[in-house]
Amino acid sequence: MDRNRSNSRLMKDFKVCLNGLVKLLRPILPRVLGCSFVYLLEAACSLAFVWYSKRVVDIATGLLDASLNRNVFIMVILMVAQIGFRIFSKRIEGEVSVKAKLDIRKRAFDKALSSSWNGRDKYHSADVVNRLEEDIRVVSEFLCVSLPSAVVTIVQLIAAATMLFIFSSKLAWIIIWIMPVAVVAARLYFKKLRALSSDIRTLDGRIQGHIQEHLQSRILIKTLGAEKMVGDKLDKLQHDELSKTRTRLDYSAISRFFMQAGFSAGYLTAFLWGVYGLRDGSVTYGLMVAFLQLVGQVQRPVASLASYIPAFIKALSSEVRLLDIDEMKNDATQGQRILSGALSVSVKNLCFSYENGTKVFDDFSCDFESGELTAVCGPTGKGKSTLAALILGVLKPNSGSITISNKKENIPVGMDTRGNFMYVPQGNSLLSGTIKENLLLARPNATEEELADVLHCAAADFVFDLPLGIDTQCSEVGKGLSEGQCQRIAIARALLHDGGILILDESTSALDPATEMTVLERLHERYYHSKTIICITHRVAVADLADHVISL
């Protein structure tokens, strides 16, 4: 019973993955068909070359009365055409594959970027990157290279087998019955190979995550003296991947053994058939040449089809991982509901728990007055940042309500109200690029005067004292600047974004007290009565400056 249920689930997953591959294929189908057409031309020239090879030998041995030079010339033309089509097909194949990879990656990236967040990321960022890189490469190469090649290979197999039947039906039947052994052998290890491929892809993502995370924190690792522990964990992960890869290679080797055995048996059969036929006069030299070439024309497609099975399995395994991204809940919205003027925030009877059961709020209520500075204080872990995420509409409450309002409207927060907020998260939130590029994320058409104004308001005038000024490069997560400098630039960036509510989530924690007070005083003075400021903090001085204090 359990086995039947497992097989049923496997087939269901198989169908879902297959439908996913078909869905990815549709937008690139014209390109794939164009590439397949060039493959077909190459295959046609190859079969025509076999035909003319037989004619040339028969003419040379006197069995056929025709122009030798003319037929040799046609053979040369066909050979040159094969080479030309092969080179051209590789050129098209490469371009189509790259375009498909870029298109699929862009769609997957947009999906991942707009996915909803429940307080904890389901996948490590490095694992998502691994899916966007390696899994998309595997899928795009299958769709643009392996799949059209397989279709053309089947056509070539049918054509070559038909020609072999015309020359000798008995030999054709023998060859055709020998080769399916490899296909049967391939079917035997299909499920196991698919499971191994999936495990290897998962391990690859974990390895990439381990490397990325510990390289980003290498100073901490050195300080803790944990280099050996981190290195040993990488060794273990890589050993697991190596072990599973070896097992997969063993299964592939068994398949190749059956394939090569079938290939050799077929060639030997055709050769001996021709030799004995020459002896008793039933086979001409030209026909034997055709036999030997046609056996290859029949066997190579079968061997190629068998080699496409691992590619298909890898593509299915990668598609499973891409479907995880595609199935992420999307919280993007078609439009934003923007309220004008200073806005107030009202939290009523709020209850919220994370998916793991951790309760954060139970019948909690508070108000943030419009146009004023409110400090949210409390010990670590009491839900200050969670409250910010709920107000932003990133998280959804289990019950209760959160609304924003001006003098005319009162609306619940959600995906369509995020445009009303200017937000500065905890930690370093700068991205790779110049300081100017980071600022323009909030307002792409901002003028130089506007950039200078928000930098001054955030006490980030130091930017203009840097050698390259506002065009100074920020490395990954703002490396190259101090954390305090990064925080001030992040505040300036938020100020460029239109919105009636500014949320600072521990956004001045890396500043010295004097600079912190300068930033908050400038913000309070600039936006008093025009914007509502919510400042999440641990510091008493900030609370003293605030118009209101909410303690959690």
Domains and CATH numbers, the chain: 13-326 (1.20.1560.10), 344-551 (3.40.50.300)
Q: What is the DSSP string of 241-254?
A: HHHHHHHHHHHHHH
Nearest-angstrom CA–CA distance, 215 and 218:
5
Q: What is the pLDDT of residue 6?
A: 41
Cβ-contact 309, 251 below 8 angstroms: no
Contact assessment for residue 155 and residue 229, using Cβ atoms and an 8 Å cutoff: no
DSSP codes of every residue in 268-332: HHHHHHHHHHHHHTSS-HHHHHHHHHHHHHHHHHHHHHHHHHHHHHHHHHHHHHHHHHHTSPB--
Task: List the beta bridge partners of residue 399.
Answer: 351
pLDDT the model gives residue 5:
42
What is the biggest distance separating any 2 CA atoms in the chain, rounded to whole angstroms? 110
For tokens 């078909």, what's the residue? 22
Question: How high is the pLDDT of residue 80?
Answer: 92
Rounded CA gap, 296 and 262, in Å?
12
- pLDDT tens across 367-377, in order? 988 888 888 88
The sign one gets for the Cα dihedral 543, 340, 443, 430 is positive
Task: Using only the alpha carbons of the chain, give its radius of gyration.
Answer: 34
Element (H, E) at 181: helix 180-188
Residue showing tokens 């300081």: 435
Task: Count the neighbouring beta carbons within 10 Å of the beta carbon of residue 245.
Answer: 16
What is the C-alpha separation between 544 and 344, in angstroms, rounded?
21
Q: Which of 105, 113, 500 is nearest to 332 (CA)?
A: 113
**Residue in 336, 338, 343 with CA at minimum distance from that of residue 534:** 343
Give the CA count within 13 Å in the CB-facing half-sphere of 97.
20
pLDDT digits (tens, 9 = 90+) for 312-329: 777 877 777 777 777 777
Tell which residue, 172, 155, 154, has the closest CA to residue 163.
172
Q: How far apart (Å, rounded) are the C-alpha atoms in residues 90 and 96?
A: 10
What helix, strand, coil percent values describe the chain, rounded to 5? 70, 10, 20
Neighbours of 489 (CB within 10 A): 27
Beta strand residue intervals within 406-516, DSSP E:
410-412, 421-424, 433-434, 473-474, 501-505
Record the tokens describing residue 276, joined without a space: 């004995």
Strands 373-377 and 410-412, bridge-based pairing: unpaired
Tokens for 95, please give them: 């371009």
421 with 392: CB under 8 angstroms?
Answer: yes
* Model confidence, pTM: 0.64
Report how far residue 532's alpha carbon sits from residue 548's, in angstroms, rounded to the nearest whole number.
Answer: 11
Residue ranges in 458-529 assigned as alpha helix (H): 483-496, 513-527
Residue pair 67/180 in contact (Cβ under 8 Å)? The answer is no
The set of residues, in sequence order, having a beta carbon less than 8 Å from that of 73 and lying 6+ positions away, is none
Amino acid at 217: S
Separation in Å, CA 446 to CA 298, 497, 534: 66, 10, 25
Each residue's pLDDT expressed in tens, for the chain with a length of 552 residues: 444 444 444 444 667 777 777 777 788 788 788 888 888 888 888 888 888 888 888 888 887 788 888 988 998 999 999 889 888 888 888 888 888 888 888 887 877 777 666 555 566 666 777 787 778 888 888 888 888 888 887 787 777 777 777 777 776 676 666 666 655 655 566 667 767 777 887 788 788 777 777 776 665 566 556 777 778 888 888 888 888 888 888 877 776 677 667 667 766 777 777 777 777 777 777 777 776 777 766 666 666 666 677 777 778 777 777 777 777 776 655 567 888 877 889 989 989 888 777 788 888 898 988 888 888 888 887 888 888 888 888 888 888 889 988 888 888 888 888 888 888 888 777 777 888 888 888 888 889 999 999 999 988 888 888 888 888 887 765 566 888 888 898 889 888 888 888 888 888 888 888 888 888 888 888 888 888 889 888 877 777 888 888 888
Token look-up 């910010």 returns 388
In the chain, the amino acid numbered 61 is T
Q: Is 28:144 a contact under the CB 8 Å cutoff?
A: yes
The owner of tokens 């303690």 is 551
Give residues with Cβ within 8 angstroms of 19, minimum separation 6.
Answer: none
